[in-house]
Amino acid sequence: MTPVATPFFFYLLSGLALLGGVLVITRKNAVHSALALILTLLALAGLYLMLYAPFVAGVQIILYAGGIMVLFLFVIMLVSIEKSQREEQFNKQWIGGVVGAVGLGALFVRVFVRSKALHDLAGMPLAQLPEQSNTQEIAVYLYGNYMLAFEIASLLLLVAIIGAVVMAKKRI
Amino acid sequence: MVPITTLHYLIVAAGLFVLGVVGVLTRRNVVIVLMSIELILNAVNLNLVAFSRMWGLHGQVFAIFVITDAAAEAAVGLGILIAFFRNKETVNVDEVDLLKW
């Protein structure tokens, strides 16, 4: 079977992801930011499919684009967007923030250009990932090697549910 | 055309990470700051899945744990935002200064 992971799809999807990221941090209206973030999440799900991770791609779409973003949109509706749209969108330290982030990006570029390990990585053979049984294999890891982490994650979700309910209550 | 290697995915993830950091450091609206944190977490997820293409499925399992964390963080963060908005009628981070002296 010829792989669908062609360079064209990679550049298309990563371009969409980065475009969505730029829109998230520049839009005035928080609803537009949320929609741009959904674009980024869907493009990333496509990239996961190209990397032979169909289960993670499905979880990304159902849980992120379907669950978390609906939560975000509801909260945007609850807090007033008309008022916050008329206000200044960037804080007073925005120059320092941009300079710091660009410095971080320059550090990334330098590491990517100079690191010998990363260039060896580009030539390394890829692992033989299961194409048909990805979900079963992940389940074996989740209930085998990562049993303790799985249980801790369920506890974390319980704490988060209680925390969100307590925070959103009218009278604590 | 150059074949796509892991390095390409790492560069895309680094770009998303930097965008998220810019959003967290410059925006005033708390909702958009939380969305930028989601961008950062997604950049990390892309790294993990790209590495799992080379070293087996462990990276994908970790990506699922990161998604779980992101869900918990979004729920609690938005709950705090609602409680805060109810008390102070604002969603701007630089007006959250109750603990400042």
- Please name the residues between 93 and 132 in chain A that touch chain B, using a CB distance below 8 Å: 93-94, 96-98, 100-102, 104-105, 108-109, 112, 118-119, 121-124, 126-127, 129
The three-state secondary structure class of B1 is coil
**Separation between Cα atoms, residue A152 and residue A149, nearest integer Å:** 5
**Separation between Cα atoms, residue B72 and residue B29, nearest integer Å:** 20
Are A34 and A8 in contact by the 8 Å Cβ rule? The answer is no
A54-A64-B6 Cα angle (round to 5):
45
Find where tokens 């603990």 sit: B99
Q: What per-residue confidence (pLDDT) applies to A133?
A: 84
Q: What per-residue confidence (pLDDT) applies to A82?
A: 72
**Separation between Cα atoms, residue A14 and residue B43, nearest integer Å:** 11
Q: Which residues pair with B92 in a beta bridge?
A: B29
Residue A86 has pLDDT above 70, yes or no: yes
pLDDT in tens, A92-150: 788 888 898 889 988 988 888 787 777 777 667 777 777 778 889 899 999 998 999 99
Residues of B in contact with A5 (CB under 8 A): 4
Helices (H) and strands (E) in chain A, counts: 9, 0
Q: How far is CA B47 from CA A29, A104, B54, in A?
A: 30, 17, 11
The domain locations on chain A are 1-84, 133-172
What does the mean pLDDT of chain A come to?
A: 86
Architecture of A1-84 per CATH?
Up-down Bundle (1.20)
Predicted confidence band at A1 (pLDDT cuts at 50, 70, 90)? very low
Comparing A71 with A83, the larger pLDDT belongs to A71
Q: How far is CA B41 from CA A168, A171, B34, B84, B96, in A?
A: 24, 32, 11, 24, 24
The DSSP element (H or E) to which A102 belongs, if any, is: helix A94-114
DSSP character at residue A61: I
pLDDT in tens, A11-52: 999 999 999 999 999 988 889 999 999 999 999 999 999 888
Predicted confidence band at A167 (pLDDT cuts at 50, 70, 90)? confident
ipTM: 0.91
pLDDT in tens, A137-160: 899 999 998 999 999 999 999 999
**Separation between Cα atoms, residue A101 and residue B23, nearest integer Å:** 9
- Please name the residues between 41 and 60 in chain A that touch chain B, using a CB distance below 8 Å: 41, 44, 47-48, 51-53, 55-56, 59-60
Residues of A in contact with B9 (CB under 8 A): 47, 51
Going by C-beta distance under 8 Å and a sequence separation of 6 or more, which residues neighbour residue A157? B68, B71, B72
**B97 touches A: beta carbon within 8 Å:** no
- pLDDT-above-90 percentage for chain A: 42
Residue B16 has pLDDT above 90, yes or no: yes
Q: Which residue of B has its CA nearest to A152?
A: B65
Residue B101 has pLDDT above 90, yes or no: no
pLDDT in tens, B29-84: 889 999 999 999 999 999 999 988 888 889 999 999 999 999 999 999 999 888 88
Residue B1 has pLDDT above 70, yes or no: no
